Structures are given as C-alpha cells and as structure tokens.
Structure 1
Amino acid sequence: MCAHNAVRSPMAEAMAKHFFGRSVYVQSAGARRGEVDGFALAVLDEIGIDAHKHKPKSIEDLEEWEGLNFDLIVSLSPEAHHKALDLTRTVAAAVEYWPTVDPTAVQGSREQMMEAYREVRDGLMRRIKDRLAS
C-alpha cells in the first residue's frame, strides 16, 4: 500500500507476484487512487517484469471488490501507513511499515529520474525477497 497505487505499491505487487505468485496472494492499493507511472513500468520492464495491465485502486476499491482478507499489510508511505493502521480496527492483519522514498520527487534528466526509480525498485525487491522467502 502506498499513497496513490501508482509507483511504489504497483512495483512491489508486480515483483511479489513474479517471485512468489504461486505461494502468496498479493494485491496492491493506495490510500487514494492515482495514475500508473510510466517510469515505474519502465524500470520493471528492465528486469523482465510486465506491469502494464496494472489498474490503480484505492484500499476502498479493494475492499469492495475482494474484501480485506489479508494477513499482512505492508505500507510504503506515511499516508498509507496511517490508513493501514486505521484498517486494523476492523481487520485482523499485521502491518509492517517499509518507508520508501517517492521517486516522483526527483528532478533532473531522464536518466537521473530513472536511477531514482531503480533504487526504489531494487530496495523493494530486496525487502520482498527477504520477507516472503521465509
């Protein structure tokens, strides 16, 4: 879960499904719904993961479509973390906060921006592999 389900959480969802899709059920959502970010898709393409069909959704969308039957909610932004903690009033799920920089804040050349997204991708990949491998 992140702020808009546009960059960090779709990247995390795509990687978790890629590496653990048969053993773990994964869905991403945002505190609010945004638009999928092209740079996020591009850095996933670089490692052979296709997330182009991702449709951003809010946590309310997810609750309406599937219910909130999760054992774990991983929040990646302060706004999402507060929302996740609020959800635990009615949902019996553990919450982990993985503070993750928002790469959309980086200014500069295309390559500088891509590097910021790669850093987020690589950091999320390490955490996902460490957390879900056990």
Structure 2
Amino acid sequence: MGTEPTATDQDRLVTVTLDPNTITSINPDEVHEWRIAIYDLLEDNSFKPARVSAEGPYALHMSIIGNYILLDVRNPETFQPIAAHYLSLTPFRRLIRDYFRIRDAYYEAIRSAQPFQIETVDMARRGMHNEAAELLRTRLDNKIILDLNTARRLFTLICAVQPYASRIDEATSELPTVLFVCSMNSVRSPIAAALARQAFPGRVIARSVGVNGGKADQFVHEVMEEVGIDMSVHTPHILDELVANHFDLVITLSDDAPEAVRRKGLEMGALEEWQVADPSLVEGNRALVLDAYRDLRDSLRKRVKTRLETLVI
C-alpha cells in the first residue's frame, strides 16, 4: 500500500454501530466480542472517507447485505450520511477462517503451551492480521483512507460480526415487515423495533426511522440493557433513507409521523397511529427520567408483542 496516510485529530472514528436486522445474536459472549472489537477500534484509529468534503470525526454504521459488508460513514452528531461503500467478503473468506483457527489455537496455547509455542502461534496471528489489513486497505483504496493498525482492528470487528449475519434479503424474504416511525428515531421507534426483534427473533423484519434526524440517547441504552438488549448498536435513520418501499405494517409513535409517512408514499398493508408519550420530555432528577423510559419500554413491550403476534405465524 505504500506509505502510511498522514492523519489529523479529525481523521478518526468516534462511534461504531451495527445494524440489528442483519447482525444478530442473543448470546452475551458473542455480543461481548463485538463490544471489545468496537472498543479497540475506537480507542486508536486513523480513518477518513476519500473524495468527500465533509470533515471528521466520523461515525461508522455496519450492516451485512448478502455477501457484502456495508460501511456507512456518517456525521457522529447528526448521523447524516457522508459516504457508503460495499465491501465484498469473498476475498476475505480464507483469512476469516484463519482468524478463528489461529485465535482458538492462541487461547489454547495460553492455557497449556510452553512460551516458545505461544510465541509461534502469536507470530502466525500477527502475520495473518497484517495480511488481512493490507488486503482491506487495498480493497478500500480510493474509498476509505486508514492506516495499517486501524485496518487490523477493522478486520477484527468484521470477523467478530460476520458469523452472526442473518443475511435476510428483504427484497425476496417472506417474513412480515414492520416499520416503526417517530420524530427523531432516538427513543420511541428504536425501542419498539428492538423489542419486536427480541420477541420474535428471526420471524419478523422490524425497522425504525424518524421524521427528522436525532441523536443516540443514553437513557435508552440504560433501560434496554436492563432487559438484555444492546442499543449501543443503533444509529438514527430518517424516512428519506428507506430503501424498502413496502411494509406489512407501519406504526407511528409521534404526532408528526403519520403525515410524514403518507407523504413518503410507502406501500403498506396497514398504518396504525399509536399515542405514545416521549420520555425525553420528562423533567426531574435522573431516577424520575429513567422511570419514564422504563414505563415506555414496558408498555411498548406488551403492545408490540400483542400486535405482532397476529402477523407472525
């Protein structure tokens, strides 16, 4: 790849999120592996989309579509799209297999092998990582500018998430599709969609969007973590970003959403308007606000489960 890119303080990732529709797991060990890989990537990286005028830092939203990883680069404050690139997994298949084989061998060596054996496995691990990183940089040439260490960490994250890809083709899938819409896609609609996926894993495609762009909400992270749902993977999306144009059911959760949905011209089996309070408007101390978020979560959990049971056979 030649010389390393020269980075600035702005040329870096500060947020990485995962698409919960295409990267799915309810195993806490697997989710922990994702989190460690994301943490390592964010801790030290040099990352900049090529050929764009937008300045960093950046957010990266990852999803898996068929045999491709979609690297969706966004503004970390507004989550407005900056650049998106499809990365084929085919050239990485052997390296991904080697990653897991060498990783397992390394863990086994740590437990029982002599120091020289550990060092031998570790050298093989570093060599594989370097080869994968160089390939990654080559495949992203003129698309994303990243140094070798960042490429190594990004490859580790790709390895951590790709075995758990649902690989649902929404264009041909016969699963029922549900879209939840609220104002900002920060609180109500992402909570509802996440609860739908938890209640009916692999049996429904549940997406969420906002009329306008919002920001990630820490209170959402906290109250959903209590019920075993990791919302740190969520990136707010808006109606105009929707690729799918047909949903079996569209549920609006804010006053401005129904008219926005009608203007969008979606094909819908049914449109329902749910009156749902916005807990982010609650004033008071931290405990009072958290209780409002929990009330929303618990009421939506019951309502979503009851309503979607009629769709899921």
- Spell out the pairing of 1:1-134 with structure 2 (5 A cutoff): 1-62=181-242, 66-87=243-264, 89-134=265-310
Structure 1 residue 82, shift from structure 2 partner: 1.9
How far apart, in 1, do the equivalents of 2:259 and 2:275 lie? 12
* Secondary structure in 2 matching 1:28: strand
Task: Give the AA of the match of 2:288.
Answer: Q
Task: Give the AA of the match of 1:124.
Answer: L
TM-score by length of 1: 0.91
How far apart, in 2, do the equivalents of 1:29 and 1:90 lie? 13
Structure 1 residue 131, shift from structure 2 partner: 0.5
How far apart, in 1, do the equivalents of 2:240 and 2:255 lie? 18
Which of the pair has the greater relative contact order for Cα pairs under 8 Å at 6+ separation? 1
TM-score by length of 2: 0.40
Task: Give the AA of the match of 1:30.
Answer: G
Normalized per residue, which structure has more helix? 1
Does the 8 Å CA contact 2:252/2:258 hold for their aligned counterparts?
Answer: yes
Structure 1 residue 85, shift from structure 2 partner: 3.1
Percent identity, aligned pairs only, is 37
How far apart, in 2, do the equivalents of 1:61 and 1:115 lie? 32
Structure 1 residue 110, shift from structure 2 partner: 0.4
Does the 8 Å CA contact 1:6/1:37 hold for their aligned counterparts?
Answer: yes
Question: Aligned Cα RMSD in Å?
Answer: 1.3
How far apart, in 2, do the equivalents of 1:67 and 1:130 lie? 25
Structure 1 residue 133, shift from structure 2 partner: 1.5
Structure 1 residue 21, shift from structure 2 partner: 2.8
* Secondary structure in 1 matching 2:206: coil
* Secondary structure in 1 matching 2:272: strand
Distance 1:106 1:86, change over 3 A: same
Does the 8 Å CA contact 1:85/1:95 hold for their aligned counterparts?
Answer: no
* Secondary structure in 2 matching 1:115: helix
Structure 1 residue 90, shift from structure 2 partner: 5.0
Distance 1:23 1:123, change over 3 A: same
Q: How many residues align?
A: 130
Does the 8 Å CA contact 1:76/1:97 hold for their aligned counterparts?
Answer: yes
Structure 1 residue 92, shift from structure 2 partner: 3.5
Unaligned runs of 5+ in 2: 1-180
How far apart, in 2, do the equivalents of 1:68 and 1:133 lie? 23
Structure of larger gyration radius:
2
Does the 8 Å CA contact 2:251/2:272 hold for their aligned counterparts?
Answer: yes
Distance 1:90 1:122, change over 3 A: closer
Give deviations 1:51-72, integer Å, cap 9, x for gaps: 211110001112xxx2222111
Unaligned runs of 5+ in 1: none
How far apart, in 2, do the equivalents of 1:131 and 1:92 lie? 16
Normalized per residue, which structure has more strand? 2
Structure 1 residue 93, shift from structure 2 partner: 3.5
